[in-house]
Amino acid sequence: KTIFLSDYQAPAFTVSHTELHFELFDKHSLVHARLHFRRADGVSEDTPLQLNGQELELLALAVDGQKVASAHYELSDDFLRIDGLPQSGVLETSARIYPQSNTSLEGLYRSRGLFCTQCEAEGFRKITWFPDRPDVMSTYSVTIDADAGQCPELLSNGNLMHSEELAEGRHRAVWEDPHPKPSYLFALVAGDLQRVEDSFTTVGGRDVRLIILVEEKDLDKCAHAMDSLKRSMRWDEERFGREYDLDVFHIVAVDDFNMGAMENKSLNIFNTSCVLAAPDTTTDLGYQRIESIVAHEYFHNWSGNRVTCRDWFQLSLKEGFTVFRDAEFSADMGSRSLKRVEDAMTMRTLQFAEDAGPMAHPVRPASFIEISNFYTLTVYEKGAEVVRMIQTLLGEEDFRRGSDLYFERHDGQAVTCDDFIAAMEDVSGKDLTDFKRWYSQAGTPELSIRDSWDEEQGIYTLTVSQQTPASLGQSEKSPVVIPLAMGLLGEAGNLRIKLDGEMTDIESEDNTHRILIADKPTQTFRFTELPERPTPALLRGFSAPVRVDYPYSREQLLALVSRDDDDFVRWDAMQQLMVSALQELQENPEAALDPILETAVNAICSQILDPAVQADMLRLPSETYLSELASHAGKADVHGIFRARESLRKSLAKVFRERWASLFEGLRVTEPYAPTGEQIGSRALANVALDYLATADDQGVALARDYYFAADNLTNRLVALRAVLREGSAERGEELLEDFYQRFCGEALAMNHWLLVQAENSVGDSISRVRALMQHPAYDSRNPNKIRSLIGGFANGNAVQFHREDGAGYQLLGEVVEALNAQNPQIASRLLAPLTRWKNYAAGGDLMRAELQRLSELPSLSPDVYEVVNKSLA
Ligand code: ARG
Ligand code: ZN
């Protein structure tokens, strides 16, 4: 059933206070609820109270202490409807549920014995009957009873009010959350966990206890998350004026979790992979990810919890804004350029693909079948880019004032993206009506930019046209407001810019940087008083989530790589040089290495840059990105892309052998491992060099093998392992895999990586290997991290074998999705994504489509899988 944004209706009943009493047992649990309800003003008395509820056994139902007669209620698979209710009162229900057999990991479930919850978006209805929609906000009192031996820790949102011993070895805790919240922010945790404690004093003088709860074996892996949390709390005060509002803040780590983490009020629940960190089990990227996710969930306390969403179509209101906030935090903690380059990479590789695929949707979708399918790169990452563009258009100062006004005006409310925009308009006096098209229009806008040069007058003209491709249900698109940051590069550096005419634009201080506003189908910008014909440096800082088409010559790209002021532009120019070299190799496998590309590599190596950015510039564009580009231009030939990429890697490896060797030697980190920006940068660049060295010759493979054994951290170990698997003999590869397993088989998080490298290894018969690993004790077919590593890793990160000509890769994915459809629909539908892009491929598209067709005919498809399968077949 499709739900439409345009059908929104305010709730007929509110619930001001909710009392829950949980009795947790091994074989089942009981949930007793008391809802203090009130009929909303203007709602007629014959409107029934409609509560969501799924997989609940009704044991008792009463209103104001009186049992409800069967004539007055109706119970179905999804709802409980009660009529004849007074204007206000207390509705009491009792339900029996079965957390231990809940494999969907939604609602209340058990993970390695631990009771925990995941309610966003619509999981609360699997716990108790409730108007499970974010615009019904309620205070909560929660009583938890459980076995004291099994569950020494009993936690819920807010403050602990009371605890006591009960008969038969059981005990009780009572929690109260004074902040009204929607049901999706409810959380409960009960189990045997150990604590790491610290504290934080807010700017207003509130002492907050910070508690991270983990299994005993993981106690030594919490320091990084705790440190990240404290830095997030300080940063949000300083940058956004947001202070924490309770005396305690919990983070709980659980092994079985569908997503990364969840911002439940004062009781954040995290996937272990997004909170636990140790040098042996966490990569540098992992450390950075933990820092940003801890910050993200913490920042939700304001952008999401204090001010929440009216309905799920507004998801980006909290997610886009919060991703923007966490990106700014990461930029401030580490390198701003690096963060920007990596976010741009994600957008262009993955979000653009989503925007071009069958599940394309606007940042604020207009309809959905299953909301879980809309926790997407579009809602999160593109949503964050939209918020960033607002900041660009308003300037940082007004943006901050807009944010302050938004929080002040809507504290305690459930609001819409329009309310966010209105606050920004009100403080700045700017009209964002046209800008709002970013929220309603799906697809990636394409800027086509052409130029001309008047030598005599010194006038340079840019003609900027935009177009957004049609998508399902949106055939006609209008222009969007695109802040196009740019500069003009001359022989000796960036030129001063004089812009002619009454064009809207935002100017920088030093006059070498402009933000043009492209908001029409076509417009021209005239730059005057120029001493020479410039090279345009376009979309600096990735100022908008758009594709840019400008016919750069290789010489111009080299100039940008060598001399532009903006790291994104330089990185992008290098990518374009490599992409063009790869395209040439695809057409002509004998093509010689482009001398301009050679010069560019030399230029990058001899510059003083952030080494992590340098590493990104020297790395080949990913196969996924190349496929995305190819399918945008026509159809992708994944095998051709793979061969070209291997061949370019080989050439670069050999031609620059000496350079890689000296880079590698010069950058070796000798201090003990620390995830500092400095070390991470050095490692990144050294490891790019090592990877090329291993590609160059056997001596390099031997070096990688030694590097593997000498590693004191997972980053180096994995780089070496991957290089040996790709370039070395089968025996060498097996030796290291076996060693890795022996070292870390007790560490679930390291085993995720062990599965992932094997899934992504395209040498040999990957499919047999993946099938064998599915039977291996290190795998667990119920654990989302393991599924993502092995099956997701194979389908997304091993293109040549996933797209094997006999269709065995598609079949494998189809089988797993089929099994997961009943067990964990959210994971099943996410895993499906690579199959849905069948239209992108020159070969194999039909077989992919056939697998989707087969899935579509299965009996009892979950709404999650149903929606994705049907939209991709449409
Ligand atoms: N709100 C969470 C976050 O942004 C994500 C939870 C998504 N859960 C889901 N079942 N789709 O961190
Ligand atoms: Zn979030």
Q: How far is the CA of 424 from the centre of ligand 1 (A)?
A: 26
Q: How far is the CA of 809 from the centre of ligand 2 (A)?
A: 32
Atom of ligand 1 nearest to the CA of 293: 12
Residue 632 has pLDDT above 90, yes or no: yes
Atom of ligand 1 nearest to the CA of 322: 4
Is any ligand 1 atom within 6 A of the Cβ of residue 375? yes
Task: Among the bound ligands, name the one nearest to the CA of residue 184.
Answer: 1
CA distance 868 to 228: 36
Per-residue pLDDT tens over the stretch 206-240: 999 999 999 999 999 999 999 999 999 999 999 99
CA neighbor of 396 nearest in space, from 424, 437, 416, 429: 424
Structural contact between residues 251 and 276, judged by C-beta atoms closer than 8 angstroms: no
Q: What percent of the chain has pLDDT over 90?
A: 97
Place of tokens 């918020």: 387
Which residue is listed with tokens 């009392």? 19
| pLDDT class of 506 with cuts at 50, 70, 90 | confident
Pairwise CA distance, residues 743 & 737, whole Å? 10
pTM over 0.95, yes/no: yes
| CA distances to 159, 234, 339, 450, 575 from 571, in Å | 49, 32, 12, 21, 6
**Distance, CA 184 to ligand 1 centroid (Å)?**
10
* pLDDT of the residue at 228: 99
- Taking 90 as the threshold, does the pLDDT of residue 435 lie above it? yes
Query: Residue 503: pLDDT above 90?
Result: no
CA distances from 310 to 104, 220, 428, 734 (A): 26, 40, 25, 54
**Ligand lying closest to the C-alpha of residue 299:** 2
Q: E strand or H helix at 518, and its extent?
A: strand 514-518
- Whether the CB of 120 sits within 6 Å of ligand 1: yes
Asked whether 342 lines ligand 1 (CB < 6 A), one says no
Sign of the alpha-carbon dihedral angle for 660, 666, 672, 678 = negative
Query: Which ligand has the shortest distance to the CA of 323?
Result: 2
For residue 504, pLDDT over 70 is answered with: no
Whether the complex's predicted ipTM is more than 0.90 is answered with yes
Q: Give the count of beta carbons closer than 10 Å to the beta carbon of residue 438.
A: 27
The span from the CA of 679 to the CA of 677, in Å, is 6
* Interval 518-559: pLDDT, tens: 999 999 999 999 999 999 999 999 999 999 999 999 999 999
| Model confidence band, residue 608 (pLDDT cutoffs 50, 70, 90) | confident
- Examine the pLDDT at 365 and tell me if it is beyond 80: yes
Task: Dig out the tokens for 855 from the structure.
Answer: 């899935």
Structure tokens at 687: 């490891």
Ramachandran class of 582: left when φ > 0, alpha when ψ lies in -120 to 50, beta otherwise: alpha
Residue 798 is given by DSSP the state -
Residue 502 has pLDDT above 70, yes or no: no
CA of residue 297 to ligand 1 center, whole Å: 10
Per-residue pLDDT at 301 exceeds 80: yes
Q: Is the CB of 326 under 6 A from ligand 1?
A: no
Check whether 321 has a pLDDT greater than 80. yes
Residue at token pair 């020297």:
618
User: Which ligand has the shortest distance to the CA of 303?
Assistant: 2
Angle, helix 714-727 to helix 698-710, in steps of 10 degrees? 150
Whether 419 and 406 have beta carbons less than 8 Å apart is answered as: yes
Please say if the pLDDT value at position 509 is more than 80. no
Mapping DSSP onto H, E and C, the string for 416-478 reads CHHHHHHHHHHHHCCCCCCCCHHHHCCCCCEEEEEEEEECCCCEEEEEEEEECCCECCECCCC
Atom of ligand 1 nearest to the CA of 826: 10
Q: What is the DSSP letter of 67?
A: E
Helices (H), 728-747: 730-744
- Each residue's pLDDT tens digit, 556-604: 999 999 999 999 999 999 999 999 999 999 999 999 999 999 999 999 9
Tokens representing residue 728 in the block? 């070395």
Q: What is the band of 472 on the pLDDT scale with cuts at 50, 70, 90? A: confident
pLDDT at 620: 98
231, 153 Cβ separation under 8 angstroms: no
- pLDDT over 90 at 668, yes or no: no
CB 276 within 8 A of CB 282: yes
Residue whose Cα lies nearest atom 8 of ligand 1: it is 120
Q: What is the pLDDT of residues 93-119, one digit of tens each?
A: 999 999 999 999 999 999 999 999 999
749 HSE (CA, 13 A, CB side): 22
pLDDT at position 401: 98
Could you please report the per-residue DSSP string of 219-272?
Answer: GGG-HHHHHHHHHHHHHHHHHH-----SSEEEEEEESS-SSSEE--TTEEEEEG
- Would the CB of 259 count as within 6 Å of ligand 1? yes
d(CA 109, CA 98): 8
Residue with tokens 């913490």: 298
- Average pLDDT on 257-282 reads 98
Rounded mean pLDDT of the chain?
A: 97
As annotated, the active-site residues are: 297
Q: Is 758 in the pocket of ligand 1 (CB under 6 A)?
A: no
Q: Ligand 1: which of 375, 380, 827 to mutate, judged by most atoms within 8 Å of the beta carbon?
A: 375
Residues constituting the chain: 874
CA of 326 to the centre of ligand 1 (A): 15
In this prediction, residue 649 carries a pLDDT of 98
Among candidates 498, 355, 506, which has minimal Cα distance to 438?
355
> Would you give the end-to-end CA distance of the chain in angstroms?
16
Atom of ligand 1 nearest to the CA of 296: 12
For residue 95, the surrounding DSSP H or E stretch is strand 88-97
Condensed to tens digits (0 to 9), the pLDDT of residues 804-826 reads 999 999 999 999 999 999 999 99
pLDDT of residue 432: 98
Q: Which residue has the tokens 């085993």?
A: 751
Q: How far is CA 710 from CA 673, 683, 705, 716, 728, in A?
A: 12, 14, 9, 9, 18
80-89, pLDDT tens digit by residue? 999 999 999 9
Q: What is the DSSP letter of 204?
A: T
Q: How far is the CA of 329 from the centre of ligand 1 (A)?
A: 20
Residue whose pair of structure tokens reads 């007058």 in the numeric block? 457
pLDDT tier, 447 (very low <50, low <70, confident <90, very high otherwise): very high
Ligand 1 within 6 A of 269 CB? no
Confidence of residue 501 (pLDDT cuts 50, 70, 90): confident
Q: Are 118 and 269 in contact (CB under 8 A)?
A: yes
What's the mean pLDDT in 408-422? 98
